[in-house]
Amino acid sequence: MIRRTRIAVLAVAATLAAAPVYPGLASAAPGFTKQTLNFAVFIGPDDNVACNIVGDLYLPDGASATSRVPAVLTTSGFAKSKNDLVDTAEPLVREGYAVLAYSPLGFGGSGCKVTMDDPDFDGKAASQLVSFLGGAPGIAFRDNAYREPFPALDVVARDSTAVDGIKHANDPRVGMIGSSYGGQVQFAAAALDPRIDAIVPMITWNDQSYSLAPNNAGPSTGVSTTIPGAMKLTWAAGLGVLGAINPGPAGYAEEPSRALGCPNLPTELCAMISAGIAGYPSATDIGYLRNNSVTTYIDKIRAPVLLVQGQKDSLFDLNEARATYDALKRQGTEVKMIWQSWGHSDTVPAPGEYSAVDPRNNYENSRILDWFDHHLKDSAVSTGPEFAYFRGWVNYAGNAYPAYASASDPDVGTPQSFHLSGAGLTTQADAAAPGLQTFATGPAGLPTSSRPPDPLSRIALPDMSIPGTFARWTGAPQTEPMDVVGAPKLDIVVSTDRPPNGSLDDSLVVFAKLYDIAPNGVADLIGDLVAPARIVDPSKPIAITMPAIVHRFDTGHRLALDIAGGDLNYRGGLVSYRVSIASGPDQVLTLPVVAAS
């Protein structure tokens, strides 16, 4: 047998010590059994990289070769482990599913370096776990030395054909679910493996180059742009640190190759972070990020997809899910979409929205269970509306169902124009007053605001910008509630104190933001969302598609638009400009407004 990568016991212990502790993990629980296994997988473009994956296999009582059950495969978010998946696995196994919850490559006791959900690495690893669920022998072991083989699994239901209509060996009836990093791997696996029957990617990306360095001015396809945007400094730095420290000293000692080059991370990722901090990602950096993004291979996705994205998510915003939804819809892949209340910026779901406790009485859990029951158990249960979104202003008790609105299409709003008028906003084009606001962008791309770092956005810190580094237009107090659902659009013309030379190094970078100003004057940056715009030629009209929101401007509240020269969480332009923006009827912010409910 080829010698495999081994994981040190000390490294596993160190990882588990940093993870939440759940009672009774090592023993059987009522209704199911659970055991930890090691999986020998071969990955890479040539299938010659040996890695060890550690996972927990949950089997419902009564599952047997004569009473087979469908299966669900799940993995964790970035820098987390299988132990973080208990609340995902237990509700599913209690519903009669076999569940395999595993730590992704490079994290939580699994070996090899992190590969950022690269289909050739993470996708192939997941595909081999699908083979295990389908009864393939020689993959699973009771120990990480591979001395105690685990018998071929014979309790999972089998398919006669896969989603491609072809018969495949070791084909289980299997779905996948996971959040963030554990969401994107489902696309990577499903693109390679037609045996996967249904997936539920939650709060994940469409194009990682947009996620980490967005340019909201003029996307060419979906959220992907031809001109790189502004680096998300705090998110990128946080991912780099988390990825590097995760194995711990014992892990690096056991597997020294993970310390070479970029510690525990791909060399390309370190290069991209360095380039982004210094200025902006290169074309090579963007190519690497897109290679690990569903936007590149979405035409290979055939399994039905239930997309779940968060309204409070400054890492992977709603526009990313919308881009994935639109592409899947165009090619005829079955897809539905939920915009939940929570995300990376606020990880706490609303009451009755998502919980392992009594999942059938939580809106999202019930939607997910219905999705799997329909596609994996052949149940006639409905999979719910085409599009649903949480409304935080709706009062309810218990299940969050009343707070969710539904529609047959995500374009639920009617465009409402707000024209820049002096220092205000008006819905009447002919009433737009002239005016001129001027501000400076930060020198050398330095931040000009004091709002909290994005990964820590729940910490209560003042959101302030240095005077003279931003322009603001504020609307009149609302006489009745105004509900906005979708992506605001901003069409403006700016002027600068000197013409840029046309290079990225000399480009203008500004940041558009929407605020809700309460009657007491407190300004809330909606969803902690910012729209960076890298502008090479300011002489041309600029179209900015801002991150989508679901927000009510209540009676007495005011809408405000800021355009700023810097932001604490982003790397601004390399050179400073004085920017002037005139008011007038052609300077327009457009909001998708739905009837108040």
User: How would DSSP label each residue in 108-174?
Assistant: TT--S---TT-IIIIIHHHHHHHHHHTT-SSSEESSTTS-SBPPPP--B-B-SS-TTS---TT-B-E
**What average pLDDT does the segment 366-391 reach?**
98
Residue 410 in 3-state DSSP?
coil
Which string of DSSP letters, residue by residue, matches 500-548?
Answer: --SSGGG-EEEEEEEEEE-TTS-EEEGGG--EEEEES-TTS-EEEEPPP
> What is the pLDDT at residue 378?
97
| CATH for 354 | 3.40.50.1820
* Beta-sheet pairing, 482-486 with 470-474: unpaired
Domain that holds residue 419: 414-594
State the residue for tokens 């300004």. 523
Which pLDDT score is estimated for 6? 29
Angstrom CA distances, 172 to 71, 95, 163, 188, 200, stand at 7, 17, 12, 18, 17
**Which 8-state DSSP code applies to residue 151?**
P
CA distance 540 to 398: 52
Would you say residue 539 lies in a domain?
yes
pLDDT higher than threshold 60 for residue 224: yes
In a domain, 507, yes or no: yes
Over residues 411-418, mean pLDDT:
98
Shared-domain flag, residues 244 and 144: yes
Nearest partner of 268 among 284, 251, 254, judged by Cα:
284
- The encoded tokens of residue 21 equal 């502790």
Task: Supply the pLDDT for residue 454.
Answer: 77
Is 1 contained in some domain? no
Residues 112, 251, single domain; the answer is yes
Amino acid at 351: P
Q: Is the pTM of this model over 0.85?
A: yes
324 and 429, same domain (yes or no)? no
**Could you report the per-residue pLDDT of 31-42, keeping only the tens digit for each?**
999 999 999 999
Of the listed ranges 243-247, 407-411, 491-495, 583-587, the least confidently predicted one is 243-247
212 three-class SS: helix
Instruction: Give the rounded distance of the alpha carbon of 91 from its chain centre.
Output: 23
Q: Which amino acid is at 502?
A: G
- Read off the tokens for 445: 């791309």
Q: What was the pLDDT predicted at 444? A: 86
Asked if pLDDT for residue 14 goes beyond 60, the answer is no
Helix axes 181-192, 124-133, angle to 10 degrees: 70
The upper half-sphere exposure of residue 240, i.e. CA atoms within 13 Å in the direction of its Cβ, equals: 19
Task: Give the bridge partners for 542, in sequence order.
Answer: 492
What's the pLDDT tens digit per position in 513-543? 999 999 999 999 999 999 999 999 998 999 9
Please check whether residue 141 is in contact with residue 152, taking contact to mean a CB–CB distance below 8 angstroms.
no
In a domain, 254, yes or no: yes
Q: Residue 2 pLDDT more than 70?
A: no
Please tell me the predicted confidence (pLDDT) of residue 314: 96
Contact yes or no for 547/319 (Cβ under 8 A): yes
Q: How confident is the model at residue 412 (pLDDT cuts 50, 70, 90)?
A: very high
| Residue 476 in domain | yes
Residue 417 confidence class, pLDDT cut points 50, 70, 90:
very high
Confidence of residue 277 (pLDDT cuts 50, 70, 90): confident
For residue 588, the surrounding DSSP H or E stretch is strand 584-594
Same domain for 468 and 401, yes or no, is no
Return the CATH number at 541: 2.60.120.260
Element (H, E) at 321: helix 318-331
Tokens 């809700």 belong to which residue?
A: 516
Cβ-based burial of 169 (10 A; exposed 0-12, middle 13-18, buried ≥19): exposed
If asked whether residues 500 and 524 sit together in one domain, one would say yes
* Domain identity same for 388 and 460: no
Q: Do 418 and 375 belong to one domain? A: no
342: pLDDT confidence band, cut at 50, 70 and 90? very high
Query: Which tokens sit at 160?
Result: 């006669």
Helix (H, G, I), strand (E, B) or coil at 353: coil
**Residue 63, number of CB atoms within 10 A of its CB:** 23
Per-residue model confidence (pLDDT) at position 264: 95
Percent of the chain with pLDDT over 90: 87
What pLDDT score was predicted for residue 218?
74
| 477 and 548, same domain (yes or no) | yes
Q: How many angstroms separate the CA atoms of 183 and 77, rounded?
A: 8
Q: Are residues 333 and 442 in the same domain?
A: no
Determine the pLDDT at residue 357: 92
For the segment 344-372, the average pLDDT, to the nearest whole number, is: 96
Query: Are residues 294 and 436 located together in one domain of the fold?
Result: no
Domain-ending residue, one of 379, 407, 435: 407
What's the mean pLDDT in 9-23?
A: 30
Predicted pLDDT at 461: 63
Residues 82 and 218 in one domain: yes
**Residue 502, both tokens:** 């046309």
Residue count (the chain): 597
What's residue 429's pLDDT?
Answer: 97
In a domain, 2, yes or no: no
Q: What is the DSSP letter of 367?
A: H
- Asked which of 375, 407, 439 is the last residue of a domain, the reply is 407
Burial of 124 (0-12, 13-18, 19+ CB in 10 A): buried
Distances (CA, A) of 235 to 43, 275, 455, 496: 28, 15, 6, 30
Query: Which residues are registered as beta bridge partners of 306?
Result: 336
- Which among 374, 407, 440 is the end of a domain? 407
* pLDDT averaged over every residue in the chain: 92
The answer to whether the beta carbons of residues 554 and 543 sit under 8 Å apart is: no
- Please report whether residue 536 resides in a domain: yes
Structural domain contains residue 84: yes
Smallest CA-to-CA distance from 99 within 380, 340, 385, 368 is with 368
Considering only residues 276 and 479, tell me which one the structure prediction assigns the higher pLDDT: 479
CA end-to-end span of the chain:
64
Alpha-carbon distance of 70 to 137, in angstroms, equals 19
Name the strand (E) or helix (H) holding 564.
strand 558-564
Confidence grade of residue 294 (pLDDT, cut at 50, 70, 90)? very high
Tell me the average pLDDT across 56-70. Answer: 98
Q: Based on the domain organization, do 377 and 425 belong to the same domain?
A: no
Residues 241-247: contacts with CB under 8 Å, at least 24 apart = 242/78, 242/79, 243/78, 243/79, 243/106, 243/114, 243/269, 246/15, 246/79, 246/106, 246/107, 246/108, 247/11, 247/15, 247/106
Of 3-7, 222-226, 466-470, the least confident: 3-7
What average pLDDT does the segment 207-223 reach?
93
Number of structural domains (the chain) is 2
